[in-house]
Amino acid sequence: MVFVNLNLILVASAAAAAVAAPVNDDSAPVLVPRAEVSVFMCTDRGFRGDCMNDLIQTGSCYNVRSEFIDRVSSIRNNDRDRNTCTWYRERECRGDSYRNQDDSNLGDGNGRFNDAIRSYECRRK
């Protein structure tokens, strides 16, 4: 009986030691600090008309201010060397997206984003 109890104690001790061993998990996500990004937009092509500069944080979605909804004809990510912005046709960063970081004429090409950007988000490269 003493021999059986001693074996149980040894097995339990080994199991506890195995559970307590540290685990190296390289697949864990890496947290990246947020950064401030400057987004410049205007109601006319060539960065003319009514313009605004919006200072935002990376990693969050921002809706275009009400006075610029359906009016943005040129847009630029002023911090494009460190961050990438995505422009969306719908609020809350939904719908079709566009990633040109410096577009002075949203009406050229297919023109789908001219007077159509409603939200945007930027992320660190």
- Residue 4 belongs to some domain of the structure: no
How confident is residue 16, by pLDDT bands cut at 50, 70 and 90? very low
Question: What is the CA 48 to chain-centroid distance, rounded?
Answer: 28
What is the residue type of 30?
A: V
Average pLDDT over residues 28-48: 87
What residue numbers bound the domain in which 63 lies? 36-124
Q: Is 62 part of a structural domain of the chain?
A: yes
List strands edge to edge, sheet with 119-124: 61-63, 119-124, 83-90, 94-98
The total number of structural domains in the chain stands at 1
Average pLDDT of the chain, as a whole number: 85
pTM for the full model?
A: 0.73
The answer to the question of residue 26 being in a domain is no
Confidence of residue 120 (pLDDT cuts 50, 70, 90): very high
What CATH number has the domain bearing residue 117? Answer: 2.60.20.10
